[in-house]
Structure 1
Amino acid sequence: MSSETIGFALLLLGVLLLVAKLVRVKWRLAQRLFLPGSIIGGGIALLLGPDVFGRIAAAFGTDRFTEGGLFGTEIQQVWSTLPGLLISVVFAGLFLGRRMPKAREAGRMAGPQIAFGLTLSSGQYVFGLLLALAVLTPVFGLPPLTGALIEIGFEGGHGTAGGLGETFAEFGFAEGQDLALGMATIGLLMGIVLGIVLINWGVRRGHATELRADAAPSVAERMGLVERENRRSAATLTVHPSSIEPLTLHFGVLALAIIIGQLLLWGLQLLENALWVDTIEIFGYVPLFPLAMLGGILLQVVINRFDRAQIIDRLMIERIQGFALDMLIIAAMGTLSLDVIAHNIVPFLLLAAVGIVWSLGAFLLLAPRMLPDYWFERGIGDFGQSMGVTATGLILMRIADPELRTPAYPAFGYKQLVLEPFFGGGLVTAAAIPLIVQFGPVPLLVVMAVVFLVALLSGVLYFGRRGAPADTEAEAPR
């Protein structure tokens, strides 16, 4: 494959993202659903791919587009490799530029949030594995690792699903990536749709404390634009461009975090090979991105210790992450195989239905009992994340709490620091597939069931009855 093909494939993704933004600005349904441009662009790429455009062209008598669609097979091959690369960039920057809070500080505000978030995440494994053991494996002949698809697709999202492609392939279930990507798409769309429905319901029933019944996002917000008077800097220059371009500096920091993650992964694989590879092999199948996240954490600890000039700007890291995630999502959706989903449509719908019912039920039944204050604003963020990754949760929280007056945002952020290394693309998500294959689904089901019960009971019996922290008003000024 030539370098020109690789470059042109990347340029096409950029053009598709621009087209997607125009669609968001002009298409009212996309505005009402707050669809990200990457999802719209991915849908366009999917429609122009072999499973839609290729089949339509074949129906009119030409097989030229059967394998690669409008873009061709080489472009599709380039796109298919991008998710596994870009997900490491996203995860390496999760903690870079953040202040690492003290355990007591985080626990005081985020304890209930951690319990609720952990209940949602572990519950996706519990109900997914039960579905696999009871129906998907005995009835449809699918491997038991399909029980992990709800957490991978819903809370992990497109990035995690794309990043686990090689892991699925190594265990002889390459179709798992397409099913996970399909789950991620359904989860994101339903998370936004149901989230907006729940917000309207919460306003009418008086559960939403900060949102009035007549409040609504502005036209500019629906179009995905920022009014001139509300625009702010996308990042801060912490070094002079004459010495090094600030973007280059931050990319170098991300690169170092990924390299540290790769060294950690190699070290764990060597240790595993030396000690117990004859009986168990886990790290040989774990992808790079969760270790890249650990690399970012270790690097941030060093930065906090020695960087007195504070040259790492969190907003600049987020811009690079956002670019990588947009490119990842559109590339992953553009290479999604609709044939795989069509051939497994009943199991796919069962998994999606179980995931949706669990997230919706947890929000309506458990959030009021586990979150002692502002349960609606705090719960809607976790609901959105449990179905459509972190960005969905943040969107719903911003709609429910537009002035950021509740403790929902800081509690959500602290919870992320605790749970992100493990669920939603973390170590547990990455290791779940090899663990299921190595030991079977039952041991993982038992472990997740124990985690589920501990998180649930601590939330309902302790945090839910504890009441709001004494300093809630100080942390959430009204």
Structure 2
Amino acid sequence: MTPNQIGFAILYLGVFILIGKWLRVHVKWMQNLFLPSSLIAGFLVLLVGPQVAGRITGYFVSDDSFWSTGILTENIVSVWETLPGLMINIVFATLFLGKKLPSLKNIWQIGGPQLAFGWTVGWGQYVIGIGLTVLLLTPFFGVPPIAGALIEIAFEGGHGTAAGMKSTFEEVNFAAGYDLAVALATVGVLSGVIVGIILINWGVRKQKTKVIEDVQGFSTLRKKGIMEYENREPAADLTVRPESIEPLALHFGFVALAVLIGFLLQKMLVWIEALTWGAATGSEFMTYIPLFPLAMIGGIILQGILGKIDNAHVLDRQMINRIQGFALDVLILAAVGTVSLDVIGEYFVPFMVLAVAGILWNVFGFLVFAKRMIPDYWFERGIGDFGQSSGITATGLLLMRVVDPDNKSPAFEAFGYKQLIYEPFLGGGLVTALSVPLIFEFGPYPFLIFATVMSLTGLFAGLFYFGGKRARK
């Protein structure tokens, strides 16, 4: 593959992003579902690519015809297949860059209830997934036990985490896990938005919400995903003079450095294992760990250093957000557009079982646990965690914005504090990255027991500690 072919594949990516945005602006039902433009574009790529359009045209043209792969060439698809695994490292490296970490006391007091709730639901997804796998999917459908981790990887982690785990699934001889995870992540995002809006309407009617009394919905421009002219703000601050260095280039350099620190950590862990327990036991456990959670640690390390030496505050969080958002859009488009429909068809029943179980568990957790764990504004705060546990963080933020448009509740602050402790472990953190290798190496039952203990820990803390505060109020 030549550099020109790779370059044209990137250009095609930009064109499909524009088409996805155009569809969001002009198609009403896409606006009402608040579908991300990148997700719309990913579905479009799937339809016009080799898996749908290519198969249809294949009946009428020869194999060497341009139309045998739809309107996308094999080279374009090959480039796009590699992008999710690269972009996820950028997404996770930027999670903590430019953020000032608050005190543990504030995190615990404000974000503690949501941490307990999210911890219960997140670990519970492992309990539900592994339980169903060992009792039903493995004995009756021949699905490997590591499929039990798919709900948490896809629902809590989203498309990015699913893409980042591709190499891990290949290493443990379950390459189909990647396609199933991406498909489940798509189900998670859709269910998070659709079910979330249904829950909000129910909450308003039943007077469960404290901030809004009716659902007026967003403005027409907001549904189209366009910022109202009078509300537009700068996307980022210019912290350095462009004649010395382009601010975007500087911030990309910081992100690249964070990823490289994570890469060095990965190689160091593999080296330590080879010299110590790996040499004695023949284990190669560390080789299964993907790069993205270590890139997140690299970002934390770099932020800690910059917090002490960056007196001029040249690192701007908003600029980091723009880089993160770009990487996530590219990731979602490429991951959804290249997912294997053959794999989903082959594992259709296990896929549906895991998808339905994940949705039901999230709804159950929100309706039963959130109001008993979160002392105040339980609906406004809990709906954000429901959205995140179903898809991506953006889904949670969207749902919180619907029920608290003017930020009158502590929902956004508590959600942000909770993420500081939650994300290094679940939803794409270290636990998510280690779950598949651990189940592969030691079997499903040790991890099932551990996940049950962790979920119950969050449950008891939420019900009896934070829930007790609610009762005293």
Determine the C-alpha separation between the residues in 1 that align with 2:468 and 2:8: 58
For structure 1, list consecutive stretches of 5 or more residues without a partner in the other structure.
471-478
RMSD over aligned Cα, in angstroms? 1.4
Give the aligned residue type for 2:165. Answer: L
CA distance in 2, matches of 1:69, 1:372: 54
* Aligned counterparts, 1:351-430, within 5 A: 351-430=354-433
Mapping for residues 96-107 of structure 1, pairs under 5 Å: 96-107=97-108
List alignment gaps of at least 5 residues for structure 2: none
CA distance in 2 between partners of 1:241 and 1:339 (Å): 49
Rounded to whole Å, the distance in 1 between the matches of 2:44 and 2:29 is 15
Determine if contact 2:61/2:67 at 8 Å carries over to the other structure.
no
- The answer to whether structure 1 residue 78 and structure 2 residue 79 are counterparts is yes
Q: CA distance change for structure 1 residues 469 and 262 in 2, over 3 Å: closer, same or farther?
A: farther
Distance 1:109 1:214, change over 3 A: closer
For 2:314, the equivalent position in structure 1 comes to 311
Identity, in percent, stands at 54
2:18 aligned partner, one-letter code: L
8 Å CA contact 2:61, 2:68 repeated in 1: no
* 2:295 corresponds to which of 288, 292, 295: 292
1:113 aligns with 2:114: yes
**TM-score normalised by length of structure 1:** 0.96
Which digits, 9 at most, give the CA deviation of each residue in 1:121-171, with x for residues without a partner?
100000000011001111000100000000111111111111111111111
Report the number of matched residues: 470
2:125 corresponds to which residue?
A: 124
Q: CA deviation at 1:281?
A: 2.8
Partners of 2:55 and 2:68 within 8 A in 1: no
Listed one character per residue, the Cα deviations across residues 186-219 of structure 1 (whole Å, up to 9, x for unaligned) are 1101110000111111111111111121522111
Following the alignment from structure 1 to structure 2, what is the Cα–Cα distance between the partners of residues 300 and 402? 31
Amino acid in the other structure paired with 2:396: G
| Alpha-carbon shift at residue 5 of structure 1 (Å) | 0.8
Would you say the 8 A contact 1:108–1:469 is kept in 2? Answer: no
Q: Deviations over 1:305-332 (max 9, x none)?
A: 1111111100000000000110111011
Are residues 53 and 122 of structure 1, via their aligned partners in 2, closer, same or farther at CA, if it must alter by over 3 Å? same
Residue 377 of structure 1 aligns to which amino acid in structure 2?
E
Q: For residue 48 of structure 1, what is the amino acid of its counterpart?
A: V
Question: Does the Cα contact within 8 Å between 2:273 and 2:286 map onto a contact in 1?
Answer: yes
Distance 2:216 2:54 in 1: 45
Letter in 2 for 1:12: Y
Cα distance, 1:69 vs structure 2: 3.4
- Cα distance in 2 between the residues matched to 1:210 and 1:395: 15
How many Å separate the matches in 2 of 1:404 and 1:386? 21
CA distance in 2, matches of 1:434, 1:214: 45
- How many angstroms apart in 2 are the aligned matches of 1:412 and 1:297? 19
CA 1:116 to 1:14, structure 2 compared with 1: closer, same or farther past 3 Å?
same
Aligned to 2:205: 204
Q: Tell me how far apart the structure 1 counterparts of residues 174 and 69 of structure 2 sit (CA, whole Å).
A: 22
Q: Secondary structure at the match of 1:50?
A: coil
Aligned-residue offset at 1:60:
3.5
State the match for 1:54 in structure 2: 54
The answer (yes or no) to whether the contact 1:112–1:463 under 8 Å persists in 2 is yes
Distance 1:291 1:257 in 2: 9
1:69 is paired with a residue of what secondary structure?
Answer: strand
Corresponding residue for 1:28?
Answer: 28
For 1:476, the equivalent position in structure 2 comes to none
Deviation at 1:266, TM superposition (A): 0.8
**Partners in 1 of 2:292 and 2:140 — Cα distance?**
34
Hey, what's the Cα distance between the residues in 1 that align with 2:215 and 2:303?
Answer: 43
TM-score (norm 2): 0.97
Say whether the 8 Å CA contact 1:282–1:434 is kept in structure 2.
yes
Report SS of the residue matched to 1:34.
Answer: coil
TM-superposed CA distance for 1:70, in Å, is 2.1
SS of structure 2 residue aligned to 1:215: coil
How far, CA to CA, are the matches of 1:62 and 1:204 in structure 2? Answer: 58
Query: Which residue of structure 2 aligns with residue 450 of structure 1?
Result: 453
Q: Which amino acid aligns with 1:463?
A: F
The change in CA–CA distance for 1:175 and 1:280 in structure 2 (over 3 A counts) is same
Q: For the residues of structure 2 that align with 1:174 and 1:311, how far apart are their CA atoms?
A: 42
AA paired with 2:367? Answer: L
**Residues 469 and 389 of structure 1: is their aligned pair in 2 closer, same or farther, counting only changes over 3 Å?**
farther
Alpha-carbon separation, structure 2, partners of 1:332 and 1:240: 36
Q: 1:468 to 1:7 in 2, by over 3 A?
A: farther
Letter in 1 for 2:221: A
| Structure-2 separation of matches of 1:65 and 1:355 | 40
- Give the conservation status (yes or no) of the 8 Å contact 1:210–1:405: yes
Cα 1:304/1:179, change in 2 over 3 Å:
same
- For 1:430 and 1:67, the matched residues in 2 are separated by 37
CA distance in 2, matches of 1:62, 1:225: 44
Contact 1:53 1:65 in 2 (8 A): no
CA distance, structure 2, for counterparts of residue 443 and residue 74 of structure 1? 43
- Residue 206 of structure 2 is aligned to residue 213 of structure 1: no
TM-fit CA distance, 1:56: 1.3
1:16 aligns with 2:16: yes
Residue 59 of structure 1 and its aligned partner are, at CA, apart by: 3.5
For 1:347, what is the secondary structure of its paired residue? helix
Contact 1:367–1:376 (Cα < 8 Å) also in 2: yes
Q: Which digits, 9 at most, give the CA deviation of each residue in 1:402-445, with x for residues without a partner?
A: 00110000110011000101111111111111101100011111
Q: Where does residue 43 of structure 2 map in the other structure?
A: 43
Structure 1 residue 74, shift from structure 2 partner: 1.1
- Render the CA deviation track for 1:272-311: whole Å, top value 9, x for unaligned: 1111123433211111110000000011111111111111
Change beyond 3 A, Cα 1:108–1:71: same
For 1:329-349, what per-residue CA distance to the aligned partner results, in whole angstroms no more than 9, with x for missing partners? 101111111111011111000
- Decide which moves more: 85-94 or 68-77: 68-77
Using the alignment, how far apart are the partners of 1:270 and 1:5 within structure 2? Answer: 36
Q: CA deviation at 1:179?
A: 0.3
Structure-2 residue corresponding to 1:441: 444
Supply the distance in 1 between the matched residues of 2:215 and 2:445 (Cα, whole angstroms): 50
TM-fit CA distance, 1:252? 0.3
Counterparts of 1:90 and 1:76, CA distance in 2: 22
Letter in 2 for 1:342: G
Residue 344 of structure 2 corresponds to residue 341 of structure 1? yes
Counterpart residue identity of residue 400, structure 1: V
